[in-house]
Amino acid sequence: MGLLSQGSPLSWEETQRHADHVRRHGILQFLHIYHAVKDRHKDVLKWGDEVEYMLVSFDHEKKKAQLVLSGEELLETLQEKGERTNPNHPTLWRPEYGSYMIEGTPGQPYGGTMSEFNTVEDNMRKRRKEATSLLGENQALCTITSFPSSSICCRLGCPGFTLPEFKPNPVEGGASKSLFFPDEAINKHPRFSTLTRNIRHRRGEKVVINVPIFKDKNTPAPFIETFPEDEEATKASKPDHIYMDAMGFGMGNCCLQVTFQACSISEARYLYDQLATICPIVMALSAASPFYRGYVSDIDCRWGVISASVDDRTREERGLEPLKNNHYRISKSRYDSIDSYLSECGEKYNDIDLTKDKEIYEQLLQEGLDHLLAQHAHLFIRDPLTLFEEKIHLDDANESDHFENIQSTNWQTMRFKPPPPNSDIGWRVEFRPMEVQLTDFENSAYVVFVVLLTRVILSYKLDFLIPLSKVDENMKVAQKRDAVLQELFYFRKDICKGGNAVVDGCGKAAGRAEPAAEEYALMTIDTIINGKEGVFPGLIPVLNSYLESMEVDVDTRCSILNYLKLIKKRASGELMTVAKWMREFIAKHPDYKQDSVITDQMNYSLLLKCNQIANESCECPELLGPAFRKVRYSGSKTDSSA
């Protein structure tokens, strides 16, 4: 999650004193980049995925699974043996928020040819194998989005969910002051604890995360947790909700991301907008996080949890008190869905109130940016959260740390990424909403689906745009329990309307009228993904017809069809999402008392099973389809009925 500077982090007061400096120079740094590369064309399509992992240790005697706090050492060894020894090493490793986390990407980006789709899964397997080979006995690299149990008894002060065990330290001086999440579980690089501390300082109180509890037969009604001797928690926690109070409960979750290099800035802006509408749909399809702090929740996705876990807005900014010390009311956390479309086609669908810094906006207009790009600088209403003493005075023409400082702490569904200064990297966009899946097969399937979709969007000049406020409504709905089958989502009815003029200046060329309510309708995810006669063609059928028109070797085609089949079946309900499967696993567990509580033993059996599935030592037809291993490994990968 962003740039790691070496050096000494400044205190919150000092960082805040430099906030305007960082913003001003961040914008200047962006302008240097913009003027240098705005007309760059013909970059080739490249892309790459990011998978985040948790390190889990199994105690088979005590039947306990814990998070191993060795991410930093593991990362050091992986980098030493990998990229530092061989620049062409097939994997790259990066730190993540949790001390029990690491992040892996392919060593080189993938290119534009179809056969690359057939290498994604192999590369993910390599990553899993490489990192696993360095783990201790009874330890595993798990791709789970949120760790189910943070040992409920933690709040009584008994250490629990980490190895080694640490007590949370809710006193002055700690980074998060959490009642449940020990600071030792935060990555040791100073960036992460500083972020944690400064978010809390800026906000003026601890972060507050309240996730609705799943009401089972024996769940107390109302469900109320008490926090004697902790006034802040008593005030902040809501009845019928699971209360959490630390950045780690959000940023300590894992996800699956994809970054694309577009051939030009206008193509990047177009892809940014189009994919923004897809975020809630694919998030619901990838739902994998039903459990928090040892309880069964009523949501399936991590999104709102992370959003709240880094919400640094003050009470004034959140609208709870009249503005006095702050400049703006701000309607969203720094981690949330995007607030404005960037392409000209998006303009008329920009129906969310944007809070922007007028001076920066005017400055960018004067520098020749168009209105839509200039207002993207609304990201710069945020303060820098960390600043390193050695990195205050920079060469704006050749460095971009101040720009990146603000940019990389706006964690939105999509990220628009200018090239780094003096590099041959092009304009990129990042797709960020997906939850990580248990297996490399599933993760490859979601990645390939999204990348293929970008090909189809570009080749067929598709148009998915709807008013951005409707995309926001979709984001809310997408997180609900079993949203993939139970909820309806706004989606554009005629996706081929853009015609040829979509990429450059479509709005005028296509002479569109104001957005009409008839342009979109509420649909099920099944309809959006698989289509429905007379209603909507469906994304998979569109991808299939694209595939038919492409020259693809037999093996790659089989792999792609298998991936699309997984997506198709998850959308129709024939296969379960990870979240649903986990819920059923817990519901059927002999220890489960239908009271929404996940005990250490249940946590252990669930993670053990997840690990077996990931290592393909057991089948899981509900999740992956029947005879999954047979289809994939007996050489009969010929089932092409996707």
Could you list the residues that contact Mg ion (CB under 5 A)? 1, 103
Count of chain residues binding ligand GLU (CB under 6 A)? 9
Binding partner of residue 411 among Mg ion, ligand GLU, none, CB cut-off 5 to 8 Å per kind: ligand GLU
The piece of 72-80, 161-169, 253-261, 595-603 that touches ligand GLU (CB under 6 A) is 253-261
Contacted by 253, from ligand GLU, Mg ion, none: CB < 5 to 8 Å by type? ligand GLU
Q: To the nearest whole angstrom, how small is the minimum distance from the Cβ of residue 539 to ligand GLU? A: 23
Indicate the residue among 37 and 483 with the shorter CB distance to ligand GLU: 483
- Find which of Mg ion, ligand GLU, none residue 202 binds, CB within 5 to 8 Å per kind: none
Residue in this structure with the two tokens 């507050």, named with its chain if needed:
208
Among the residue ranges 248-256, 550-558, 582-590, 599-607, the one whose residues contact ligand GLU (CB under 6 A): 248-256
Give the one residue of 70, 162, 176, 253 binding ligand GLU; rule: CB under 6 A: 253
Which entry of ligand GLU, Mg ion, none binds 409, CB below 5 to 8 A by partner kind? none
Name, in order, each residue with C-beta under 8 angstroms of 365's C-beta and a sequence gap of 6 or more: 371, 374
Q: Which is nearer to ligand GLU, 310 or 598 (CB)?
A: 310
> Closest distance between Mg ion and the C-beta of residue 95, in Å?
9
Label residue 405 exposed, middle or buried (CB < 10 Å: 0-12, 13-18, 19+).
buried
Q: Where are the beta strands (DSSP E) in 311-470?
A: 335-336, 411-412, 414-417, 428-431
Task: For Cα atoms 205, 412, 118, give the angle at the middle one, nearest 5 degrees.
Answer: 135
Peptide bond into 164 cis (omega under 30): yes
Question: Minimum Å distance from CB 366 to Mg ion?
Answer: 36
> Tokens 């909820």 — which residue?
487
- Residue closer to ligand GLU (CB basis): 254 or 284: 254
- Helix-helix angle 578-588:600-614, to 10 degrees: 130
Q: Which is nearer to ligand GLU, 121 or 336 (CB)?
A: 336
Q: Output the smallest distance, CB 1 to ligand GLU, in A.
A: 4
Q: Which residues pair with 292 in a beta bridge?
A: 295
For every residue of 267-332, DSSP letters joined together read: HHHHHHHHHHHHHHHHHHHT----EETTEEBSBS-SHHHHHHHT----TTTTTSS--SS-S----S
Task: Report, in Å, the least distance between residue 251 CB and ligand GLU.
Answer: 6
Question: Smallest distance, Å, CB 187 to ligand GLU?
Answer: 12
306 binds, among Mg ion, ligand GLU, none (CB under 5 to 8 A by kind): ligand GLU
Task: Say if residues 237 and 227 touch (Cβ distance below 8 Å).
Answer: yes
Per CB under 6 A, which region of 164-172, 177-185, 247-255, 564-572 contacts ligand GLU?
Answer: 247-255
Nearest to 299 by CA among 487, 479, 150: 479
Torsion of CA 39, 41, 43, 47, to 10 degrees: 70
Hey, which residues does 95 pair with through a beta bridge? 102
Axis-axis angle for helices 120-132, 440-460 (nearest 10): 150
Instruction: Quote the DSSP letter at residue 219.
Output: S
Residue among 254 and 445 whose Cβ is closer to Mg ion: 254
Taking the CA atoms of 315, 316, 318 and 320 in sequence, report the sign of the dihedral they define: positive
Please compute, for residue 22, the number of CA atoms within 13 A of its CA located in the half-sphere on the CB side: 26
State which residue, 255 or 450, has the beta carbon closest to ligand GLU.
255
Q: Which is nearer to ligand GLU, 51 or 567 (CB)?
A: 51
Which residue shows structure tokens 């994997």? Answer: 91
Tokens 């979240």 — which residue? 579
Find out whether 206 and 200 touch, Cβ atoms under 8 Å.
yes
Q: Which residues pair with 261 in a beta bridge?
A: 46, 428
Answer yes or no whether residue 1 interacts with ligand GLU by CB under 6 A. Answer: yes
End-to-end CA separation in angstroms for the chain: 35
192: contact with ligand GLU by CB under 6 A:
no
Q: How many angstroms separate the CA atoms of 622 and 625, rounded? A: 6
Q: Does 273 bind ligand GLU (CB under 6 A)?
A: no
Of 1 and 381, the one with the shorter C-beta distance to Mg ion is: 1
Q: Nearest residue by C-beta to ligand GLU?
A: 255
Alpha-carbon span 468 to 454, nearest angstrom = 19
Cβ atoms within 10 Å of 374's Cβ, excluding its own: 19
Cβ nearer to Mg ion, comparing 1 with 523: 1
The residues near 110 (Cβ < 8 Å, ≥ 6 apart) are 46, 47, 48, 116, 119, 120, 451
Rule CB under 6 A: say whether 255 interacts with ligand GLU.
yes
Q: Of 94 and 455, which has the nearer Cβ to ligand GLU?
A: 94
Rank residues 3 and 394 by Cβ distance to Mg ion and give the closer one. Answer: 3
* Interatomic CA distance for residues 344 and 439, integer angstroms: 39
User: CB of 336: closest distance to Mg ion in angstroms?
Assistant: 17
Options 223, 260, 411, 449; binder of ligand GLU; rule CB under 6 A: 411
With CB under 6 A as the contact rule, the residue among 49, 52, 357, 526 that binds ligand GLU is 52
In the complex, least distance from residue 2 CB atom to Mg ion, rounded to whole angstroms: 8
Minimum CB separation from ligand GLU for residue 434, in Å?
9
185, 233, 242, 306: which one binds ligand GLU (CB under 6 A): 306
Q: Are 34 and 369 in contact (CB under 8 A)?
A: yes
Residue 523 φ then ψ, to 5°: -135, 160
Q: Of these partners, Mg ion, ligand GLU, none, which one is at the site of residue 296 (CB under 5 to 8 Å by kind)?
A: none
Q: Which does 105 bind (CB under 5 to 8 A by kind): Mg ion, ligand GLU, none?
A: none
Name which of ligand GLU, Mg ion, none residue 373 binds, using a CB cut-off of 5 to 8 Å depending on partner kind: none
Binding site partner of 582, from Mg ion, ligand GLU, none, Cβ cut-off 5-8 A by kind: none
In Å, how far are 145, 347, 349, 467, 586 from 607, measured between CA atoms? 12, 46, 43, 40, 11
From the list ligand GLU, Mg ion, none, which binds 586 (C-beta under 5 to 8 Å, kind-based)? none
Residue 102 has φ and ψ, to the nearest 5°, of -140, 165
The binder of 491, among Mg ion, ligand GLU, none, by C-beta within 5 to 8 A per type, is none
Q: How far is the CB of 253 from ligand GLU (least distance, A)?
A: 5
Binding site for ligand GLU (CB under 6 A): 1, 52, 251, 253-255, 302, 306, 411
